[in-house]
Amino acid sequence: MKFDAPATQNPIDQLKVVGKSTDRIDGPLKTTGRAPYAYERHDVAANQAYGFVVGAAIAKGTIRSFDLVDARAAPGVLSIITTLDYEPLPLGGQNTANLFGGAKIQHYHQAIALVVAETFEQARAAASLIQVDYAREDGKFDLEREAARAKPVPDEDETNEAGDFAASYARSEVKLDQRYSTPDESHAMMEPHATIAAWEGEKLTVWTSNQMIAWGKRDLARALSLKPEQVRLDSPYVGGGFGGKLFLRADVVLAALGARTVGRAVKVALTRPLMINNTTHRPATLQHIRIGANRDGRILAISHESISGNLPDGEPETAVQQTRLFYAGESREVSMKLAQLDLPEGNAMRAPGEAPGLMALEIAMDEMAEKLGLDPVEFRILNDTQVDPMKPERPFSARHFVECLRTGAERFGWQKRKATPGSVREGRWLIGMGVAGGFRNNQLTRSAARVRLSRDGKITVETDMTDIGTGTYTIIAQTAAEMMGVDLDDVIVKLGDSDFPASAGSGGQWGAANSTAGVYAACIKMRHQVATRLGLNNADVIFSEGEVRSGDRALPLRNAAHDGELVAEDGIDYADDFADRAQQSTFAGHFVKVAVDAFTGETRIRRMLAVCDAGRILNPKSARSQVIGAMTMGAGAALMEELVVDKRFGFFVNHDLAGYEVPVHADIPHQDVIFLDTTDPWSTPMKAKGVGELGICGVGAAIANAIYNATGVRLRDYPMTLDKHLSRLPKPA
């Protein structure tokens, strides 16, 4: 189905099932431990052996040789493969670091060997006996030191300048010029990267934990020099990814190589240190923001520069992308620079670009509001825009940012905030409120599905879309139930199998809207088949309560499959110029109240509120879960999360969940989420947009701004740990 014009009235608009708060249909499986995750697929292949991955103990250099004598003699060992046994495997389109093969070491804990044994313990014990002779080389591990040598990265798909920034900034009556930083961060998902691999002749099947099945199949075939039809990925349940499982990783490749070597199924899971150093992370940024405005508060000029680091041929953290679009202003310039580092690969993590970019921009907006003597909410409202500031001829498809701010301010009690920092105390606690805007672009990508109607009237949906804990099973079932006029219990959803039609996949906040639109398209084709089979007029046919109605005729839906199952397959595809005709984005207003201990500097979050504008919300219950999860990640980024770099040897020191701190229940108060009752016909036939990453965008800055309001100490370097402001806090009363 080609989608080349804004959606009009369609069957989804009935909202009998879609748009209702619905329990997750996979909930009973997960709460009882019956949902099969990758490492637990004991039933899919017999006689599974265990693989243990060995990571490089240097960050840069080469391997001269391995001594495997003791390891091979260890109990239970079936085989050991090393990186010297293979040429470097071909990389997938999104991979930067070599996954396996060759003597060259690009980063610490790069996979260099796999031990396969009868048990996990035997494989791990044998791996500890491997001796490696390295030739270490000096590396670059310090972003601040390498920043001066960072090279500009032009964004060929975007305009980077509008107007004359220098002239507009020069004549601005009020100016801001500040620098901000964000650290390296880990995805820290609960389920590790894990795979079971088995061969049948030249056909490879992997049961794995992966967000993007079609990408995984393509890249695994490339890595192993197989034809795509020789590879099958199966990933029905994913225990979190946040971008860390978008791309092919070493566990998949090594499980496949190990299984081929020993001639039986092999299972591999990465340990937590390997998850952090071997896979990907969110890169650190150094950001420079300048804003110029007239005394009335209207912005004239915005400049945003970001420097990040990555391996050679890696990509930058695109922290400037929201600054192109978020606020009005006659002139702006954005730029990115990339420093070459020999740290583990930097790549996508929840809201790549906007999450760290807004951590800086929204502090800068707060600082600018103070310079102008304006309320931070009103300053943002004053500089709202309904068109793309870089391309004024292109309007936003739907933008209700002002409503997010107004609604949030009213619900949060913003009028009670004291504008003078450090003026509210509760005993030893300094109390403050902060606000920040949230922004995340809505991305359109093709997605397909197959729909089956069986003789008993049941609807089965098949698509390689994944459920990474987001509630995908449920919203796809809701979509099919709405389209085909059946109860939710009459829909069976099958996900995560590369033998199914290729979907949008789970990533970039594009999964929900695009995957359900693909199901919508398949259901439209199925509705046509049903009407034809039943001899009904397709133009006025209605599907409701298990029946198909046209005029004064009403027939059971199951009658259409009386002579055999009906199957329909289709997908949503977007016109090439669709994104050029209207800018699609999502918006939020984030409000936070904090308390800072005047004696210790400890920060405690008291309240959090997010007001989101993301088009139609398909399932408010699971959408709320997505947003509060993202808000929690935003709190972690603001107050505690930081991968600490050993700048001598080039690795992340705190590479486990004991040293890499993430929020726990005691850190997070009650969180409120409000979804504006809006639709966006430009998005998809569902009139919905993504919301799972919007919830993190702006949260860190809202917390930072609340800390400033509480203490009068402005922090610009994340995470905002107590050591960064303790000496500057107001003296206890």
Q: Which residues are catalytic?
A: 693
Distance CA 675, CA 21 (A): 12
**How deeply is 402 buried, as exposed, middle or buried, from its count of CB atoms within 10 A (0-12, 13-18, 19+)?**
middle
How are the residues of the chain apportioned to helix, strand and coil, as percentages rounded to the nearest 5?
30, 30, 45
Contact partners, residue 249, CB within 8 Å, separation at least 6: 99, 193, 270, 278, 279
Residue type, 604: R
DSSP structure string for 543-595: EETTEEEETTEEEEGGGGGTTS-EEEEEEEEE-TTHHHHSB-EEEEEEEEEEE
Distance CA 655, CA 294 (A): 47
Nearest to 590 by CA among 642, 628, 641: 628
Nearest to 279 by CA among 234, 226, 241, 222: 241
Residue type, 588: A
Q: With contact defined as beta carbons under 8 Å apart, do 619 and 20 qualify?
A: yes
Positive/negative CA dihedral, 364, 370, 371, 375:
positive
Distance CA 326, CA 321 (A): 9
H, E, C per residue of 374-401: CCHHHHHHHCCCCEECCEEEEEECCCCH
Provide φ and ψ at 377, rounded to 5°: -70, -50
Q: With contact defined as beta carbons under 8 Å apart, do 601 and 441 qualify?
A: no
Nearest to 699 by CA among 587, 589, 623, 602: 589
H, E, C per residue of 595-636: EEECCCCCEEEEEEEEEEECECCCCHHHHHHHHHHHHHHHHH
Distance CA 609, CA 150 (A): 38
Q: With contact defined as beta carbons under 8 Å apart, do 731 and 712 qualify?
A: no
Q: With contact defined as beta carbons under 8 Å apart, do 624 and 673 qualify?
A: yes
For 151-265, list the strands marked E by DSSP.
Answer: 151-152, 161-162, 174-182, 194-200, 203-208, 231-234
Terminal-to-terminal C-alpha distance of the chain: 67
Q: With contact defined as beta carbons under 8 Å apart, do 369 and 306 qualify?
A: no
Contact partners, residue 9, CB within 8 Å, separation at least 6: none
Nearest to 495 by CA among 505, 485, 487: 505
Antiparallel, parallel or unpaired: β 203-208 and 585-597: unpaired
Q: With contact defined as beta carbons under 8 Å apart, do 142 and 183 qualify?
A: no
